[in-house]
């Protein structure tokens, strides 16, 4: 069923695993992620950035595609459709109106007071209709679609501010930037585990790790131990799907039927997502 994130994340946090947010980019991603979740018997969060929504034909189109595929595949696991890095109250309301079951309001580029104010308004509206909300503090480096944060701007979240934001807003889960990066890492990731531990004990709600691509398994396990119940992955699925397309087209340069190169891409995404579900411990938890 289509559900909000709150129940699945509270269960994950209580039981010591994390639910993956896998971002949608096109129809094949949507198919692959839903099939992976059902085969792994795993709850799943479908992440939709504003850029991906524009590409795929808008929020409503995506909700309709997801609902149709869930029916077609007889999906029984809990599925959330989540606005990733929502840039404004307006975008969050549009996503909710279209049928999204969860939204992120990313006010991390605003001063704290403004971030709190806008997040609070989103929570009031979302909770009135059973939609869950994620907020962010600090600045996650790297690039995802329209969101670009260079090395100098990337900043670790401050624990006291995290506590203030979570208490003032009533969000369901919270993403403190702690050194993770959108897109491939330049060198080894350097996650702020001391801050993480402190923030976890201060806020108590499920934490969210953005930039899940390229983080070593040992760090993933530690992040889960320190309160993370949601891990976002996009680039890794994009890399595996692009690799599959390149391989097929290199082998058969005359190929032109998209089903013959996007089919293998879809298989590759599915394998990537299934492996992540196993790594995060969400397999067989639905």
Q: Please state, in angstroms and rounded to a whole number, the distance separating the CA atoms of residues 71 and 75.
A: 7
Selection from ligand G3H, Zn ion, none that 138 binds (CB < 5 to 8 A by kind) is: none
151 is in an annotated binding site: no
Residue 219 catalytic? no
228 is in an annotated binding site: no
Nearest in space to 132 (alpha carbons), one of 151, 106, 105? 105
| Nearest distance from C-beta of residue 85 to ligand G3H, angstroms | 6
Interface contacts to ligand G3H, rule CB under 6 A: 23, 47, 84-85, 144, 182-183, 210-213, 232-236
Q: Which is nearer to ligand G3H, 183 or 204 (CB)?
A: 183
Q: Please state, in angstroms and rounded to a whole number, the distance separating the CA atoms of residues 89 and 114.
A: 12
| Nearest distance from C-beta of residue 40 to Zn ion, angstroms | 22
Interface contacts to Zn ion, rule CB under 5 A: 210
**Which two three-digit tokens encode residue 221?**
């396990």
Q: Which is nearer to ligand G3H, 169 or 213 (CB)?
A: 213
Q: Please state, in angstroms and rounded to a whole number, the distance separating the CA atoms of residues 279 and 286.
A: 15
194 is in an annotated binding site: no
Q: Which is nearer to ligand G3H, 85 or 266 (CB)?
A: 85
* 80, 96 Cβ separation under 8 angstroms: no
Selection from ligand G3H, Zn ion, none that 23 binds (CB < 5 to 8 A by kind) is: ligand G3H
| Torsion angle defined by CA atoms of residues 69, 74, 77 and 80, in that order, rounded to the nearest 10 degrees | 20
Closest residue to Zn ion, Cβ-based? Answer: 210
Q: Which is nearer to Zn ion, 22 or 261 (CB)?
A: 22
| Nearest distance from C-beta of residue 2 to Zn ion, angstroms | 22
Q: Tell me whether residue 194 is exposed, middle or buried, using C-beta atoms within 10 angstroms of its C-beta: 0 to 12, 13 to 18, 19 or more.
A: exposed
Q: Which is nearer to ligand G3H, 210 or 228 (CB)?
A: 210
| Nearest distance from C-beta of residue 23 to Zn ion, angstroms | 9
Selection from Zn ion, ligand G3H, none that 91 binds (CB < 5 to 8 A by kind) is: none
Q: Please state, in angstroms and rounded to a whole number, the distance separating the CA atoms of residues 242 and 202.
A: 41
- In the numeric block, the tokens 């980019």 are attached to 25
Q: Please state, in angstroms and rounded to a whole number, the distance separating the CA atoms of residues 207 and 229.
A: 6
| Nearest distance from C-beta of residue 72 to ligand G3H, angstroms | 26
User: At a CB cut-off of 8 Å and minimum separation 6, what does 155 contact?
Assistant: 138, 139, 177
195 is in an annotated binding site: no
Q: Which of 84, 172, 219, 257 is catalytic?
A: 84
Q: What is the distance, to the nearest Å, from the Cα of residue 215 to the centroid of all Cα atoms in its chain?
A: 15
109 is in an annotated binding site: no
115 is in an annotated binding site: no
State the catalytic residues.
84
Q: Which residue ranges are tagged as binding site for Zn(2+)?
A: 85, 106, 136, 182, 210
């Amino acid at each position: 069923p289509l559900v909000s994130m709150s129940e699945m994340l509270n269960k994950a946090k209580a039981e010591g695993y994390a639910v993956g947010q896998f971002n949608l980019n096109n129809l094949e991603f949507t198919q692959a992620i839903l099939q992976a979740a059902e085969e792994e018997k795993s709850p799943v969060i479908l992440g939709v950035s504003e850029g991906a929504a524009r590409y795929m034909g808008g929020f409503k189109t995506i909700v309709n595609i997801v609902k149709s595929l869930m029916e077609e595949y007889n999906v029984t696991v809990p599925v959330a459709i989540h606005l990733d890095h929502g840039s404004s109250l307006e975008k969050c309301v549009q996503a909710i109106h279209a049928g999204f079951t969860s939204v992120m309001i990313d006010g991390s580029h605003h001063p704290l007071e403004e971030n709190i104010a806008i997040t609070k308004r989103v929570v009031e509206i979302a909770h009135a209709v059973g939609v869950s909300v994620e907020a962010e503090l600090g600045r996650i480096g790297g690039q995802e679609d329209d969101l670009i944060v260079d090395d100098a701007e990337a900043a670790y979240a401050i624990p006291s501010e995290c506590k203030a934001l979570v208490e003032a807003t009533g969000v369901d889960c919270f993403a403190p930037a702690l050194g993770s990066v959108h897109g491939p890492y330049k060198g080894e990731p350097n996650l702020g585990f001391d801050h993480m531990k402190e923030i976890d004990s201060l806020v108590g709600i499920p934490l969210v790790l953005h930039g899940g691509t390229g983080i070593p398994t040992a760090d993933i396990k530690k992040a889960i131990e320190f309160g993370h119940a949601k891990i976002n992955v996009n680039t890794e699925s994009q890399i595996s799907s692009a690799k599959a397309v390149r391989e097929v087209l290199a082998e058969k340069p005359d190929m032109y039927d998209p089903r013959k190169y996007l089919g293998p891409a879809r298989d590759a995404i599915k394998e990537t997502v299934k492996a992540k579900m196993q790594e995060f411990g969400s397999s067989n938890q639905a």
